[in-house]
């Protein structure tokens, strides 16, 4: 029996306070992007190393792929990836952050376990599906979210699935940060695609709807809400002080 969804501390009203109109500053100097040949090479590599050619191809979704799958799927089921966990360890200076105020995105990092959704992909045009996925999941060199085959446990046993895991050698890897540090970043950072608070709210909301309880994310959303409230109180107090000085 699925637990009844709980009420979040983080709300759309909190997100609205963080949201700002940000102009995309574009690619930073010295940053190299993957090109079509690079993506084609990754697609060939992953298909060549498919652990069970001919069997259904499964994609492990743990975050935004749950609420924005990007590609079609013909089935889904719950699964647990042991040896990996959700972590806001991916530093963003674009999209949901800026060079002046970098944000953090979630990635699948080593250690622990992660409950997510296994999507069964259509058998036709696997190359095209992978190409679309890879262009979404990683853009910079060296690759930040590395596609690889991982083992996922289901109610019917263990199965290989395609997952995207954090490359710790990437310069965008932020390391193992405390929830308090992550909350401070997400309560402030915003880029041209939105804020970290919005991303967190979307993720936790959709995980909860699937019956997936990630206690770290649940604690994090409460900390982000508290931080946004705290900053709002400080801003209000400063506004009153400025107004009083003008009397």
Catalytic residue among 137, 180, 198, 245: 137
Helix (H, G, I), strand (E, B) or coil at 74: coil
Q: Which of 204-227 are b and which e, b meaning 16 or more Cβ less than 10 Å from the residue's Cβ?
A: bebbbebebebeebbebbebbbeb
Q: CB count, 10 Å around CB of 230?
A: 11
Spell out the alpha helix ranges (H) of 19-116: 36-48, 64-67
Nearest to 159 by CA among 97, 188, 116: 116
- The radius of gyration computed from the CA coordinates of the chain, to the nearest angstrom, equals 20
**231 assigned to active site:** no
Active site members: 137
């Amino acid at each position: 029996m699925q637990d009844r969804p709980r009420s979040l501390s983080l709300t759309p009203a909190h997100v609205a306070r963080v949201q700002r109109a940000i102009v995309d500053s574009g690619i930073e100097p010295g940053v190299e992007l993957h090109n079509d040949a690079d993506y084609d090479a990754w697609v060939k590599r992953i298909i060549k190393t498919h652990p069970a050619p001919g069997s259904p191809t499964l994609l492990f979704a743990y975050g935004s792929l749950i609420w924005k799958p990007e590609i079609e799927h013909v089935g889904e089921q719950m699964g647990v990836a042991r040896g990996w966990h959700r972590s806001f360890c991916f530093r963003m200076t674009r999209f949901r952050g800026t060079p002046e105020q970098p944000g953090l995105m979630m990635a699948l990092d080593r250690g622990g376990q992660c409950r997510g959704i296994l999507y069964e992909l259509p058998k036709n045009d696997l190359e095209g599906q992978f190409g679309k996925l890879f262009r979404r999941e990683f853009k910079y060199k060296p690759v930040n979210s590395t596609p690889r085959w991982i083992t996922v446990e289901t109610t019917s046993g263990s199965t290989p699935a395609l997952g995207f895991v954090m490359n710790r050698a990437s310069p965008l890897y932020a390391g193992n940060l405390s929830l308090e540090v992550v909350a401070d970043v997400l309560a402030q950072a915003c880029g041209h695609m939105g804020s970290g608070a919005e991303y967190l709210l979307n993720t936790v909301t959709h995980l909860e709807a699937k019956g997936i309880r990630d206690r770290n994310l649940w604690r994090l959303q409460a900390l982000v809400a508290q931080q946004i409230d705290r900053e709002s109180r400080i801003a209000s107090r400063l506004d009153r002080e400025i107004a009083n000085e003008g009397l």
